[in-house]
Amino acid sequence: EIVLTQSPTTMAASPGEKVTITCRASSSVSYMYWYQQKSGASPKPWIYETSKLASGVPDRFSGSGSGTSYSFTISSMETEDAATYYCHQWSSTPWTFGGGTKLELK
């Protein structure tokens, strides 16, 4: 099983601040996927195939990486971005998720 390790597990950012979340895989994966989840709601696809934005996702979000190291970036934090973000690998079953990064507004 591929273990995905996200860091940090929690963080707080001020409006306008740049945010970066990392996701390390225990084995190489072809792509990384990211989901956003707000309290009481289902996860939503946010970034797919490492760097492609899901429908409706603002372009202040971006993703990058390859192999075992991936990152998720918000260029300028906004209030609505406060949520938990999960990375996810679709390369090898069982498909797995990172433990999540809770992003709070400072």
Partner 1 sequence: QVQLQQSGAELVKPGTSVKLSCKASGYTFTSNHMNWIKQTTGQGLEWIGIINPGSGGTSYNVKFKGKATLTVDKSSSTAFMQLSSLTPEDSAVYYCARSPDYFDYWGQGVMVTVSS
- Binding-site ranges for partner 1 (CB under 8 A): 33, 35, 42-45, 48, 54, 86, 88, 90, 93-100
- Taking the complex as a whole, the smallest distance from the CB of residue 87 to partner 1 amounts, in Å, to 10
Report the SS3 class of residue 79.
Answer: helix
Of 45 and 68, CB closest to partner 1: 45
Of 79 and 93, CB closest to partner 1: 93
